[in-house]
């Protein structure tokens, strides 16, 4: 038996250890990619479930945007490392294409002007009438009215409309009539000391018929309809303001910072759950009424739900969305406590075509941006 010498022992110690295989790391990355792809597809499917049947499905819509971002990161990683495995996130993104289309508009190079008529929809937040800051109101309300009039829209759909005849600056109907909107449908939800709050449709063209589809006692969440004559055609304009979540100012922020964050977070969750379920029932009424109007129908207003929700998908399955067709950027419409939301919409029927869409951000008395779209009749 040969005994190793001292020099041989030292040589063995200096000899570099064999490199460990990277298979373990690669396998873990692949498993992670598969897990998140399945999870993302699960979120897509959950949006098709009605919240009354399974209320947790309503919350999964909030997870779709971060899930899409994660899939984009996986796609970039595998294209760099092993392009074959990039097929997994690619498939997940392909299956969610309708959500991607609803998230971002690519129509930056539109030069075509409005053709037959323009529609502006805005949640006016009662033109800041409920705010205590009277100095700001005296500036914000005229500025908001000026922006509405400057849009030169043929039809205005106003949610949370407010009017106080003879009291400046809140004599809104009088001001808009004077500016060229003689035809008005104002569905009042509540009156107080001579003032009124509700929903309104203003038109430069004759309103032939008016109808209230849904009206809840002591609530500004309504659905109203006006049949309007434009030239020789008649369109049905539905102004909607579906169930609000009714979160108070600072409630989300307080629920995170408070020592009782669990109780407060549960309270926020219950309000969200209630909103999902009520909106689903309200949407039944809206779709039923809209389908009776035929192809020349416009549905505008505050959906109070994101483009990843069951409410949005049900509307989008039947009608075109103006932002998806002609919008640009993310088109966020809510400037409140929860940022980065597009909850104000314009949908239209098969008899109409949109050739322009813009998100208007110049309404200082509201925490919403306006949606403005141009339409013409399909031959």
Domain holding 175: CATH number?
3.60.10.10
Domain encompassing residue 32 = 22-103
| Positive or negative: CA dihedral 124, 125, 130, 132 | negative
**Within a domain: 127:** yes
Distance CA 68, CA 47 (A): 14
What is the reported pTM? Answer: 0.88
For residues 205 and 313, state if they share a domain: yes
With pLDDT > 70 as the criterion, what percentage of the chain qualifies? 87
Q: Hey, what are 353's tokens?
A: 């075509």
3-state secondary structure of 167: coil
For residues 160 and 303, state if they share a domain: yes
For residues 277 and 132, state if they share a domain: yes
Q: Please tell me the predicted confidence (pLDDT) of residue 348.
A: 98
**Within a domain: 97:** yes
Q: Hey, what are 129's tokens?
A: 């009438």
For residues 71 and 97, state if they share a domain: yes
Q: Which of 45, 80, 103 is the last residue of a domain?
A: 103
For residues 218 and 309, state if they share a domain: yes
Average pLDDT (25-31) is 84
For residues 60 and 183, state if they share a domain: no
| Positive or negative: CA dihedral 138, 140, 141, 143 | positive
For residues 234 and 169, state if they share a domain: yes
Q: Please tell me the predicted confidence (pLDDT) of residue 15.
A: 60
Q: Which of 103, 125, 156 is the last residue of a domain?
A: 103
Average pLDDT (72-97) is 96
Q: Which of 70, 103, 136 is the last residue of a domain?
A: 103
Report the number of distinct structural domains present in the chain.
Answer: 2
Q: Please tell me the predicted confidence (pLDDT) of residue 255.
A: 53
**Is the model more confident about 247 or about 335?**
335
For residues 193 and 138, state if they share a domain: yes
3-state secondary structure of 111: coil
pLDDT averaged over the chain? 89
Q: Please tell me the predicted confidence (pLDDT) of residue 257.
A: 55
For residues 55 and 99, state if they share a domain: yes
* pLDDT exceeds cutoff 70 at 233: yes
**Is residue 18 very low, low, confident or very high in pLDDT (cuts 50, 70, 90)?**
low
């Amino acid at each position: 038996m040969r005994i190793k010498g001292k020099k041989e022992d030292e040589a063995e110690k200096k000899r570099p250890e064999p490199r460990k295989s990277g298979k373990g790391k690669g396998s873990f990355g692949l498993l992670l990619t598969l897990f998140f792809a399945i999870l993302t597809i699960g979120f897509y499917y959950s949006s098709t479930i009605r919240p009354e049947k399974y209320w947790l499905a309503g919350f999964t819509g909030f997870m779709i945007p971060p899930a899409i971002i994660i899939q984009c990161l996986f796609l970039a990683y595998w294209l760099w490392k092993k392009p074959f495995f990039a097929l997994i996130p690619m498939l997940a993104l392909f299956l969610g294409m309708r959500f991607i289309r609803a998230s971002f508009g690519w129509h930056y190079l539109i030069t075509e002007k409005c053709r037959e008529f323009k529609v502006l929809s805005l949640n006016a937040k009662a033109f800041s009438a409920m705010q205590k800051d009277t100095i700001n109101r005296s500036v914000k309300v005229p500025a908001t009215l000026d922006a509405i009039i400057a849009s030169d829209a043929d039809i205005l759909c106003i949610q949370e409309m407010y009017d106080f005849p003879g009291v400046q600056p809140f004599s809104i109907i009088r001001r808009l009539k004077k500016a060229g909107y003689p035809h008005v449908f104002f569905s009042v939800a509540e009156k107080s000391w001579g003032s009124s709050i509700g929903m309104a449709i203003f038109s430069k063209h004759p309103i032939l018929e008016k109808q209230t589809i849904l009206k809840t006692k002591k609530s500004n969440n309504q659905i109203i309809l006006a049949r309007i004559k434009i030239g020789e055609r008649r369109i049905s304009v539905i102004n909607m303001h579906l169930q609000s979540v009714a979160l108070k100012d600072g409630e989300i922020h307080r629920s995170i910072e408070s020592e009782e964050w669990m109780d407060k977070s549960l309270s926020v969750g219950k309000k969200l759950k209630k909103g999902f379920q009520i909106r689903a029932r309200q949407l039944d009424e809206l779709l039923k009424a809209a389908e009776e109007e035929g192809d020349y129908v416009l549905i505008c207003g505050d959906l109070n739900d994101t483009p990843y929700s069951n409410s949005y998908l049900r509307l989008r399955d039947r009608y075109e969305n103006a932002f998806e067709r002609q919008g640009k950027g993310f088109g966020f419409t809510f400037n409140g406590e929860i940022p980065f939301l597009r909850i104000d919409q314009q949908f239209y029927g098969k008899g109409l075509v949109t050739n322009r869409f813009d998100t208007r951000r110049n309404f200082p008395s509201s925490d919403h941006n306006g949606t403005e779209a141009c339409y013409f009749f399909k031959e």
